[in-house]
Structure 1
Amino acid sequence: MKIFLYLYLLFIVLTPLEAINEMDSLLTHLEATMAQRDQFDQKKENRISQLKELAHKNNNNLEQIFFINNQLIEEYLTYTLDSALHFINENINISKKLNNIRLTHQNNIKLANIMASSGRLFEAFEILNSINKKELNDPLLIDYYKAFIKTYNELSFYAPLSSNYHKYYSKVEAYTDSLIPYLNQNSDDYLSILEKKYRDDRNLLECKKINTQRLSKTKMGNRLYSQITFERSLLYQLEKDEEMQMKYLILSATSDIQSSVKDNASLTVLALLLHKKGDIDRSHEFIKFSFDDASFFNSELRFKVISEILPVITEAYEHKTEKQQRKLQTSLMAISALLLLLLIAIFFIHRQLATLRLTQKELKNINSKLNKLNLNLAESNKKLNQANDQLSESNHVKENYIGNFLSICSNYIDKMDQMNKKVSKKITSRKIEELLAETKSNKLIDKEVKEFYKNFDDAFLHIFPNFVNELNALLRTEEQIILKSEERLNTELRIFALIRLGINDSAQIAKLLRYSVNTIYNYRVKVKNKALGNRENFEQQVMTIDAVKD
């Protein structure tokens, strides 16, 4: 029973994580598809160019040109509004020359559909009302009723008054009833009507079944797939399931881009949802992409929809950008302040070094005078010389470490200058997320720790070149420390190197070497247990290891 409870809890925890991972993956794929827009559009342009070349052949008759124009109209319908209108009007003129009323009606119905899609509803009704329904065969009647349904749908959607909405929507229902008898029940047109009926009745379970059936008959990268997935998102909108709504909007938008559909709504709705969730960067990126598509398609209706959304998202994006810039400016000011403090510290170190050298010079003069004292002071002089030797060694250690410290400070100034330039460059190019990722990384700290170890090893062994051999001489033969080929000192040797420099406190050693106090204590005990003689005197013996004097 406990196992089942554990598995159930694990499922509850992991299911949201899987959903998040899937959403991130879908959004990443959508952004990658957006980056390839020019490639998909080029394929569309190549098809159009081939059709135009075919249309301009000298031996084409009017029927052949009409047929090719029809293919061009299909290519342009969701790509470029003006071009689609051009070829529809050209085909209307050809059908009149051929005196073919069926072809004239066919193109007038297409023209009415385009007028409705672009918001020019008065022109759409004028064209449809000019058509004599009795002159239409069954396929044209289907297109005729669908055009009326589309036009009244658009009119009801934008109707400001509730009474007008119901009036126009009753027309949609009436034309739908007229259309259904002409449709094959397995056709997408029929299933689409059935799905919409279930959706309007809020029978979402049956609605999903129909949508799944339609979706199984198509695939990503064509206009029908984009429409069906968009309609699927409407179902989840009614269920208030924003995650699933976003999923199908992403799929629809991805398919739109792959099929070069410029007259689309999926990406605009997705931008609104992302703005609501606080993903301002993606929201701004998507609404700009939608605006570019609408500009290319040149639909007043699509411009109107996007123009109501674009300022809201743009304002949020600019506010976020300004906030990030203020944070970065604060960071730069802090870095500049630290750099100033470092320069001040270097100044004082340099002044202290000058004082130390002056002291050394004076001390040497005193020693010279003391050496000239009479022989009665020989014993005292001997002791004084021993003290002087110890002081000289101490000064030698300090000189080397101060020189090394100055070199390190200089390197850090260069690194901070490079970082300052790098931060400024990334701010200028707005690579904010990349800069944040770099500042969160531990790579820089790890690199600097390795550099610290190397500098310490080099400086210490410069002063105590025989330290490793002399320390090993204090250990049993089988317990002596053997370094790897690329090592100069290891952790054990660095601990006792610090002890030799007079740093005996484990907490201080742990802080310098970036280990825990317990780890330092264990290393000290471990090495002392390997001592050749009395382990209690081992650290005192380490202190007797000599430095090389200049």
Structure 2
Amino acid sequence: MKRIIFIAVFAMAFLQGYAQHIDVDSLIGVLKSELKKESTYDLARLNRIGQLRSSLLLADSNSFDAQYDITSKIYEEYSSFKFDSAYVYVKKMIELAERYHRRDQLIESEIHLGYSLYFSGFYKEAFDVIGKIDTSGFTRNQWSDYLTMRARLNQSIADYDNDPFFSKGYYEQSDRDFKSAQVVSPYNEFEKKINLAFLPDSLRHSSLTPDYFFNLIIQQHLTPHRVAMVATHVSSAYKGKDRILFLTLAAIGDIRSSTKETLAIFLLAQELYHMNQTNDAYIFMQAAARNANFYGARNRAVQIESLLPLVAGKVIDEKQHQRDKLLIGFLIFFLVAVVLFFLLFIYRKQMLQIKASEALIKEKNSQLENVNTQLWESSKIKEELIGLFFKTCSSYIETLEKIRQHTLHSIKLKKYNEVNDLMKDIQINEEKESLYNMLDTVFLTMFPNFIASFNALLKTEDQIWPKSGETLNATLRIFALMRLGIHEHEAIAKILDYSVSTVYTYKTRIKSRALVPPNDFEQKIMEIKFIK
């Protein structure tokens, strides 16, 4: 179950991050991040090995199947992790198979031994092992494993010799063995699709891009180790950034599967070195060296040791070049700084004058903006009040006209009692209250936050709020008229039908209870915002 979850997480991480658009630099960033977590993956493998070794101690010593099964699992854990331990356990597998006369398991173990020797660079010993295997009566799977093992061994020797004359025979034998293995065990659908990457450009369909094969690999829900193997294989079909793409994917898979017998990160470092990405090449070459030493891959260690000094030397050269550029840049900067210092010193006074002028201009602009705001606000208030004035006057003129007509008509008919009744029906106080309500409504439309802002200037116990059904009360109306710009006590008294002393008393009482100084209270009232 843990393995299934791990594979799913691995696949999802790539599908979400790279399935649509694959960026090589981002993928290299993932690889660097995984390198920092390498010890965590190694610890997980060591824990699995520890559990298997404990199980082997408890296994029935008379049961071949129990002992062989656990021993083979321990070998599988060590096979790509550490050569010495893998060698010990594959020899135990051979010993068990010989003791119990199990031919199939013996062949399987001997092929595993050949692989272990091949991984560690013991090519001659690997050839000796597979040369002694009795191939008579091989099953199809055994033939396939045997031929694949021999093909890879011949190919590796050819790569190691790296000589046109001596490598040729090994390459030819490797090619024959790979073809024979394919006949014995034909490729499955996934392998057939992967091998399309090796078609010549003239035969390759335009849709078979590196992105296609990248997504094909990560969408198969393979184990990280299998991803690394397939990606390394596909990388040999490409060059440059496309090759780096697959080698980076393979290196990530190797780290996540805690594989130390890995070719991918070495090939990646080599490719980056050839593309002058020296810093990354050095980081990955060091990781490849650690893996080779840990696993015990002598052939790989020799290759790395021959290339690592070149990479390190190039890194040093680049850093020295960067230091030289930095020194030259610093000298240029120093000279420019000296010139600028004198220029700044000469123009200092001019700059100060300019700043002073800018500050004055900003101040004047701010004042002008405030004046414009006040003018605009005053204009809008006047518009509202003039509209209210004409609406009210129009209403009263219409009412007076109706009364006049009705009165004239009653007098003409000598119905003096009706005239008297009509005059009694006119309620001056109600008309005043109606006028005040209309004024309140218009005012609160312009200053909807007036009541809250007004009370914010008073203590909680002294705050004045309209009763239910009221818009503004007497006190609020006095200060509302002040906010409209009417400050004279006589004018306020006439509008509200109060005495001047009453208006003065109201204002004085409120100012004395305010949270701000009395002299600042009216200014705070005038600062209550008009809302369009």
1:24 has 2:29 as partner: no
1:249 aligned partner? 247
- Equivalent residue of 1:133, what SS? coil
Distance 1:151 1:199, change over 3 A: farther
1:376 aligned partner? none
Deviation at 1:114, TM superposition (A): 2.1
- Equivalent residue of 1:236, what SS? coil
Letter in 2 for 1:62: F
- Partners in 1 of 2:55 and 2:237 — Cα distance? 43
Aligned residue runs from structure 1 range 178-257, under 5 A: 178-186=180-188, 194=195, 198-199=198-199, 205=205, 215=217, 218-219=220-221, 222-237=224-239, 242-257=240-255
1:275 aligned partner? 273
2:309 aligned partner? 311
Distance 1:531 1:228, change over 3 A: closer
1:459 aligned partner? none
Choose from 68, 79, 85 the match for 2:87.
85
- Partners in 2 of 1:334 and 1:270 — Cα distance? 39
Choose from 71, 74, 86 the match for 1:72.
74
1:169 aligned partner? 171
- Partners in 1 of 2:137 and 2:366 — Cα distance? 109
- Partners in 2 of 1:531 and 1:159 — Cα distance? 88
Distance 1:195 1:20, change over 3 A: closer
Distance 1:141 1:214, change over 3 A: farther
Distance 1:530 1:258, change over 3 A: closer
- Partners in 1 of 2:114 and 2:367 — Cα distance? 99
2:36 aligned partner? 35
- Partners in 1 of 2:41 and 2:89 — Cα distance? 22
What is the CA deviation profile of residues 84-135 of structure 1, one whole-angstrom value per residue up to 9, with x for unaligned ones? 1110111111111112222222111111122223332222222112111113
- Partners in 1 of 2:202 and 2:171 — Cα distance? 17
Aligned residue runs from structure 1 range 137-156, under 5 A: 137-156=139-158
Choose from 82, 90, 96 the match for 1:94.
96
Distance 1:336 1:161, change over 3 A: closer
Letter in 1 for 2:255: I
Letter in 1 for 2:173: K
Aligned residue runs from structure 1 range 391-402, under 5 A: none
What is the CA deviation profile of residues 478-521 of structure 1, one whole-angstrom value per residue up to 9, with x for unaligned ones? xxxxxxxxxxxxxxxxxxxxxxxxx9x9x6456459xxx5x765
Aligned residue runs from structure 1 range 108-147, under 5 A: 108-147=110-149
Contact kept, 8 Å, 1:220 with 1:255, in 2: the verdict is no
Letter in 2 for 1:121: Y
What is the CA deviation profile of residues 53-77 of structure 1, one whole-angstrom value per residue up to 9, with x for unaligned ones? 1101153433311111111111111
What is the CA deviation profile of residues 314-343 of structure 1, one whole-angstrom value per residue up to 9, with x for unaligned ones? 112223344556677889999999xxxxxx
Distance 1:219 1:290, change over 3 A: farther
Deviation at 1:204, TM superposition (A): 5.2
Deviation at 1:176, TM superposition (A): 2.8
Distance 1:325 1:130, change over 3 A: same
| Stretch moving more, 216-225 or 250-259 | 216-225
Aligned residue runs from structure 1 range 374-453, under 5 A: none
Contact kept, 8 Å, 2:214 with 2:246, in 1: the verdict is no
- Partners in 2 of 1:336 and 1:186 — Cα distance? 68
- Partners in 2 of 1:102 and 1:131 — Cα distance? 11
What is the CA deviation profile of residues 187-216 of structure 1, one whole-angstrom value per residue up to 9, with x for unaligned ones? 666777x558x4589855598699569625
Distance 1:43 1:28, change over 3 A: same
Deviation at 1:221, TM superposition (A): 5.4
- Equivalent residue of 1:154, what SS? helix
Letter in 2 for 1:152: N
Letter in 2 for 1:186: N
- Partners in 1 of 2:243 and 2:192 — Cα distance? 24
- Equivalent residue of 1:135, what SS? coil
Letter in 2 for 1:271: A
Deviation at 1:23, TM superposition (A): 3.0
What is the CA deviation profile of residues 17-53 of structure 1, one whole-angstrom value per residue up to 9, with x for unaligned ones? xx99933322221111100000111111111111111
- Equivalent residue of 1:59, what SS? coil
What is the CA deviation profile of residues 213-262 of structure 1, one whole-angstrom value per residue up to 9, with x for unaligned ones? 9625634752111122222322221xxxx222222221111111111111
Distance 1:81 1:523, change over 3 A: same
Deviation at 1:150, TM superposition (A): 1.3
2:49 aligned partner? 48
- Partners in 2 of 1:248 and 1:42 — Cα distance? 26
Letter in 2 for 1:287: M
TM-score of the two chains, using structure 2 as the length reference: 0.55
1:290 has 2:296 as partner: no
- Partners in 1 of 2:202 and 2:298 — Cα distance? 32
Choose from 253, 258, 263 the match for 2:256.
258
- Partners in 2 of 1:103 and 1:96 — Cα distance? 9
Distance 1:171 1:189, change over 3 A: farther
- Partners in 2 of 1:310 and 1:202 — Cα distance? 38
Deviation at 1:528, TM superposition (A): 6.0
Distance 1:44 1:199, change over 3 A: farther
| Stretch moving more, 144-153 or 278-287 | 278-287
Letter in 1 for 2:33: A
1:491 aligned partner? none
Deviation at 1:277, TM superposition (A): 3.8
Deviation at 1:530, TM superposition (A): 8.6
Which structure has the bigger radius of gyration? 2
Distance 1:158 1:293, change over 3 A: closer
Identity across the alignment (%):
18
- Equivalent residue of 2:262, what SS? coil
Distance 1:79 1:330, change over 3 A: same
2:5 aligned partner? none
- Equivalent residue of 2:281, what SS? helix
TM-score of the two chains, using structure 1 as the length reference: 0.54
- Equivalent residue of 1:235, what SS? coil
Letter in 2 for 1:83: S
Deviation at 1:526, TM superposition (A): 5.2
The one of the two structures with greater contact order (alpha-carbon pairs below 8 A, sep at least 6) is 2
What is the CA deviation profile of residues 400-442 of structure 1, one whole-angstrom value per residue up to 9, with x for unaligned ones? xxxxxxxxxxxxxxxxxxxxxxxxxxxxxxxxxxxxxxxxxxx
Structure 1: any 5+ residue segments left out of the alignment?
Answer: 1-18, 338-502, 533-550
- Partners in 2 of 1:200 and 1:48 — Cα distance? 44
Distance 1:521 1:58, change over 3 A: same
Distance 1:87 1:528, change over 3 A: closer
Letter in 2 for 1:235: A
- Partners in 1 of 2:242 and 2:36 — Cα distance? 24
2:58 aligned partner? 57
